Amino acid sequence: MKILVLATDYSRPDGIVSLHYIHTRNRWYLQKGIDVSVVSFNAKSDYTLEGVKVYTLKTYEKQLKNVSFDLLISHAPNLRNHYRFLKKYGENFNNVVFFFHGHEVLRCSEIYPKPYSFVKKSPIVSVVSRELYDLFKLRIWRSYFSKMAYKSHFVFVSHWMFNMFIKFVKVDRNLINPKKSIIYNSVGENFEKVTYDTTKEKKYDFITIRNMLDGSKYSIDIVTRVAKNNPEYTFCVVGKGKFYEYNKKPDNLIWIDKNLTHKEVIEMLNESRCALIPTRADAQGVMACEMATFGIPVITSRIDVCEEIFSEFENVGFIDNQKEEIDIEPIYKKLNKPNQNKNEKYFSKNTIEEEVKLFYKLRGSQKA
C-alpha cells in the first residue's frame, strides 16, 4: 500500500519537532509494510526522517503528482494548505482520510478560554478577524466535506471531537456517520513499556508538567489555587512561562522552569505521588493519557472530554474547575491503590493499529 500524508509542518532531522504525532503514526505504518510519503507544506527541501520520506509541495508538483497512491491522509486540515491542495489535486485520489485533532474545525472563541490577564492582548481587529475567519473556514469545510463525503473517511480523536465537528461544521450527521471512525491518539512508546515505580522515594505529593504554562487552557491558575488550599502537601510545577512572574506562588509549590524529555518526565513522575493535570479544553489530552497509562494516580478536570477519555481508568480522579476551595486529599486517597494493572486503551495496538486496519479496509472497498 502507498499512502501520501499531508502535514502543515513536520519534524526534521536537525531535532526540530513539529506535529510529532503525525511522525509517530508514520513510523508505525512503515513497520506494517506501508509505503509512506509526506508532503510538508512548511518544508524547504526534501529529506528522510527515520525512514519516512518528506517532500516539499514543489517536489510533489514536479515529481509525484502522477504517482498512484492508494490513500491520501490529511492531518488537521487547514484552508491555506490542505484545502488548496485538495482543490487542485484531489481528483488524483480515490480515497481521502481526514484526521481531526482540534482547532481546525472548531469555533475557537466558543471552545478555548480567555487568555490570562498578563498575556499580551490581541488588538480588537485581530480578534474580529479571527472570528470572521473561523466562520468562513467552517462554511468552506461544510460545503467541501459534504461534496467529498462519497470518497472520504473522517477520523476523530474522541467522541467529543466528533460532536464538536457536527456542532460547528454542521455537516449532516447521517451523511458523516457511516464514513467516520473514533480512533484515539496513542501514548508514547516509553509509557507503554515502563510502569510507575511505587517503591521509589517521593519528593513531591503532586506534580504538574506542561510545556507551556501561560496558556489558560492548561489551568496553572487552578493548580496554584489547589496548592494554596492544601498547604500540607508539596506541589511541583514543571514548564516554561511567565505565569509566576505575575502571580504569587504558594510556599508549598516548587516551580521548575524547563521543558522535559520523555525520559525526564518518567523520572519526575516516579518522584511524585500523584499527577495533577487540570484542563479547560482538550480534544483528547495526550499527556494526561500518557501519565494515566504509565500508572501514576492522575487528577484532572471534570469536563466532558476528560470523563470520556478516562472512563476506564481506575487511577484517574476529577476536580471541578469552578470550585474555589478544592480539598485534594479525599480524591487522592481514593486513587492511591497499589498493584493496579496497566490500562492498554491508548497502546499503539489499540490506536494506530486500528488506523492501519482502516486503511486496508478502505483500499479494499475501492471500486476497480
SS3 138: helix
Measure the CA–CA gap between 236 and 205, rounded to whole angstroms: 8
Tell how strand 35-40 and strand 2-7 pair up. Answer: parallel
* Regions in the chain scoring below 50 on pLDDT: 367-368
Spatial distance between the Cα atoms of 80 and 299, rounded to a whole number of angstroms = 38
For every residue of 32-95, DSSP letters joined together read TT-EEEEEETT-SS-EEETTEEEE-HHHIIIIITTS--SEEEEES--IIIIIHHHHHHGGG-S-
**pTM of the predicted model, to two decimals?**
0.92
C-alpha–C-alpha distance, residues 196 and 292, integer Å: 10
DSSP single-letter state for residue 200 = S
For 148, the enclosing helix (H) or strand (E) is: helix 124-148
C-beta separation of 75 from 6 below 8 A = yes
Asked if residues 236 and 256 have their Cβ atoms less than 8 Å apart, the reply is yes
Q: What is the pLDDT of residue 124?
A: 73
Which pLDDT tens digit goes with each residue over 310-351? 999 999 999 999 999 999 999 999 997 766 789 999 999 999
Predicted pLDDT at 367:
41
What pLDDT is attached to residue 368?
A: 29
pLDDT of residue 125: 66
The percentage of the chain sitting over the pLDDT mark of 70, rounded to a whole number, equals 98
H helix or E strand, kind and range, residue 239: strand 235-240
Give the CA distances from residue 322 to residues 17, 114, 266, in Å, rounded to whole numbers and listed in that order: 35, 15, 30
The predicted structure's pLDDT at residue 138: 96
The reported pLDDT for the residue numbered 330 is 95
- Give residues with Cβ within 8 angstroms of 358, minimum separation 6: 97, 153, 155, 181, 183
For residues 307 and 360, the answer to whether their CB atoms sit within 8 Å is no
Q: Give the DSSP letter of residue 311.
A: T
pLDDT score at 336: 76
CB 156 within 8 A of CB 182: yes
- DSSP structure string for 221-250: HHHHHHHHH-TTS-EEEEEESSHHHHSPPP
At position 44, the amino acid (one-letter code) is: K
Rounded Cα distance, 217 and 148, in Å? 33
- Whether 252 and 227 have beta carbons less than 8 Å apart is answered as yes
Amino acid at 236: C
Residue 339: the pLDDT is 60
Return mean pLDDT, the chain.
94
Q: What is the pLDDT of residues 136-146, one digit of tens each?
A: 999 999 999 99
Long-range contacts of the stretch 14-23 (C-beta < 8 A, 24+): 18/42, 19/75, 19/76, 21/101, 21/185, 21/286, 22/75, 23/49, 23/50, 23/52
